[in-house]
Structure 1
Amino acid sequence: MQHPPHQSPQVAAVTALPGPRVPSREEDGPWHAEAVCKRDEAGLFFAPSKEPTAARLSREEAAKRVCARCPVMIACRQHALLQPEPYGVWGGLTAAERRVVLARMRRRAGELRQQPGSEPIAAAG
């Protein structure tokens, strides 16, 4: 199984598990074949252990600049949200930013289910 270009070996092992996949562009191959980050070092996209906050912020901003010029940024972001990828910068979003997006998506889905005319959702408990 081919993994996106900036994926660390540790993350590759985790994401090799079955799960939703972003559809590939049949005529050009998988979306990550066009990723700009495949030419960059994985260290730019994944934090080393015990990285100081200032260094992490600087590294993440540099990774986001790479993402900003990438033709497959949206597909990469969709992949990271669908998997979900727990680490690194994907599609211009950090792991923390992706958690916020996913929480908003879940909240919005819950609001849509609660609209008049929809089935009530049983409370968990």
Structure 2
Amino acid sequence: MLPLPHQPLQVAAVPSQRVPAREDEGGPWHTEAVCRRDEAGLFFAPSKEPTAARLAREEAAKRVCARCPVMVECREHALLQPEPYGVWGGLTAAERRVVLARRRRRDVELKKAATAGQQIAAAG
């Protein structure tokens, strides 16, 4: 993404990235990631980035993710860690927080349903 004519080019401060723990038989999933060939600044926000610039940068990063063969593995890594910054697996940090909240609610509902089923079976 090129800066707008009235904005200076900002270089992203890239947080140190954790090495993904999961490895497949063919090696770690991240070796196949398309983003390894793109600049990291596309995936991580510079400090005090204007909203319009952030949204454009995130959309560009998501387009890279969309063509990545390990997008699902990347997304799950970011959700399991959880990665607090950047675009991972086609999701921003805010979008990952929504996914995690939904998973927590689903887990609570599944536990409630299992407990209710056990109580019904016991009362049988």
Under TM normalisation by the shorter chain, which class is it? 0.7 to 0.9
Runs of 4+ in 1 over 2 A off after TM superposition: none
Q: CA RMSD in A?
A: 1.7
Aligned residues: 104
Which blocks of at least 5 consecutive residues in structure 1 are unaligned? 1-7, 120-125
Q: For the residues of structure 2 that align with 1:112 and 1:105, how far apart are their CA atoms?
A: 10
Which structure shows the higher helix fraction?
2
Q: Which has the larger radius of gyration?
A: 2
Which blocks of at least 5 consecutive residues in structure 2 are unaligned? 1-13, 120-124
Percent identity over the alignment?
Answer: 75
Q: Which amino acid aligns with 1:63?
A: A
Query: Which residue among 22, 29, 32 is the counterpart of 2:30?
Result: 32
Structure 1 length-normalised TM: 0.78
Residues 8-41 of structure 1, C-alpha deviations (whole Å, 9 max, x = no match)? 3x332xx36xxx93x3221x21000000000000
Corresponding residue for residue 72 of structure 1: 70
Q: For the residues of structure 2 that align with 1:72 and 1:101, how far apart are their CA atoms?
A: 19
**Shift in Å, 1:117:** 2.6
Structure 2 length-normalised TM: 0.78
